[in-house]
Amino acid sequence: MAYPRQPSIFLSEEHDAFRDTVARFVEREIRPNANEWERQGECARDLYKKAGDAGLLGLRYPESLGGSNLDFLATTVLAEELAKGDSIGTAVSLMAQSEFALAILADEASDEIKTDWMAPAIAGDLIGAIGVSEPGAGSDVAAITTRARRDGGDYIISGQKTFISNGTRADFITLAVRTGEPGAKGISLVVFPTDTPGFEVGRRLDKLGARASDTGELYFDECRIPASNLVGEEGQGLRYILSHFGGERLVIASFAVGVMERLIDLGLDYAAQRETYGSPVLGFQTWRHRFSEMATKLESTRLLAYQAARLLSDHEPAGDLAVSMAKLHAAEAAQSVAAEVLQVHGGFGQMEESPIPRYYRDVAGFSIGAGTSEVMRELISRSLVASQQSRRSQNGS
């Protein structure tokens, strides 16, 4: 029983055709391997190449670099469909490269960096990661301490990163470092090749969910890289990171949409077949109404995500607020739907032979990654307060 997705006023025929392409890729390349990759703690490396060949790793980037020059709505479609592959970890691995590691480079890096690092990553020949979080700095990016000091034509980098997706096998890292004094203006971004002497991968982290996404601790001990690897201007790294959080948050909101649609599909199929007290579970009004509520949460989340994607594509200032709302709502909606679908599956919903418990674990991370739900609430509240103060100022009160 397929979920009856409604036509969207936001999507074009090209978006719908692209969805079909991604869905076939997921059905062919991801879902059959999901169980194995979850056990291994990483997806196969050749999946990046297959995704690159399918045009999935450079949607919004220039055709001159191998990209497709599409919009954020295409990104939402990609993230939705990847999330239906029964392995959020695999979806994270691909999007950590195509969105998180590359978006800043596309907007801020030199042509040389784009040619040397972006183009091979879009093709799937290199794996990229974004390196921001540290043991003492997560959502508070301005608190990072990994330092890059200038030495002639080089930077020498020392410090530590943690919770880095793709970190254990990345070929390069879009790395946040401190080049100046403590505070926001002392942060810069560099492209860091992981074959640099002094770099070491520490523990591969054992996570609650998204287990097919390799996540690691990284150590930098007097690592020397060319100063030409600087992304944009020195001291502007925090601004670059914050201005690109919208794409990361949109991806998570879109993951939530895909997960909810997949879970409702699985739940409806099970509830239609499973009989109790002489009737299918779906024959009971209580469950029909609970599915109605789940579908409403799904569609409201989808609308918020698509609205945010449109605003981001149009470079509207309201895009940041919209995407914060979308991510906040998506994380809570997905966790609610995952719990309901596990409940309708009863004992089977707790069996690892089913994708249900995996999704139940995976969605826990949606309220944490790319800024916690608490941070989203604070960002939304600041916008509300600023709007109210502006109105009072205009009214002379």
Tell me if residue 154 falls in helix, strand or coil: strand
Rg (CA), the chain: 22
- Annotate 94-133 with b (16+ C-beta within 10 A) or e (fewer): bbbbbbbbbbbbbebbeeebbebbbbbbbbbebbbbbbbb
Q: Which tokens is 23 given?
A: 């869905």
Q: Taking the alpha carbons of 53, 100, 21, 71 in that order, is the dihedral positive or negative?
A: negative
Q: What is the dihedral of CA 220, 226, 227, 230, to 10 degrees?
A: -70
Beta bridge mates, 147: 158, 178
| C-beta pairs of 136-144 under 8 Å, 24+ apart in sequence | 138/163, 139/371, 139/372, 139/375, 141/176, 141/187, 141/238, 141/241, 141/242, 142/183, 142/184, 142/187, 142/238, 144/176, 144/177, 144/178, 144/187
Give the separation between CA 251 and CA 79, rounded to whole angstroms. 6
Distance CA(16)–CA(258), nearest Å, equals: 15
Using the structure block, give the residue that is written with the tokens 């190449």: 49
Looking at 29, 134, 248, 261, which residue is catalytic?
A: 248
Distance CA 205, CA 89 (A): 13
Strand extents, DSSP E, 168-325: 172-178, 187-193, 199-204, 215-226, 230-231, 275-276, 279-280
- In terms of Cβ atoms closer than 10 Å to its own Cβ (0-12, 13-18, 19+), residue 191 is buried
Q: What distance in Å separates the CA atoms of residue 202 and residue 104, rounded to the nearest whole number?
A: 26
Tell me whether strands 172-178 and 128-131 are parallel, antiparallel or unpaired: parallel
Residue 369, token pair as written in the block: 């990654």
List 219's β-bridge partners, or say none: 160, 200
Q: What residues have CB less than 8 Å from 375, skipping those under 6 apart?
A: 139
332 is catalytic: no
**What residues are labeled active site?**
248
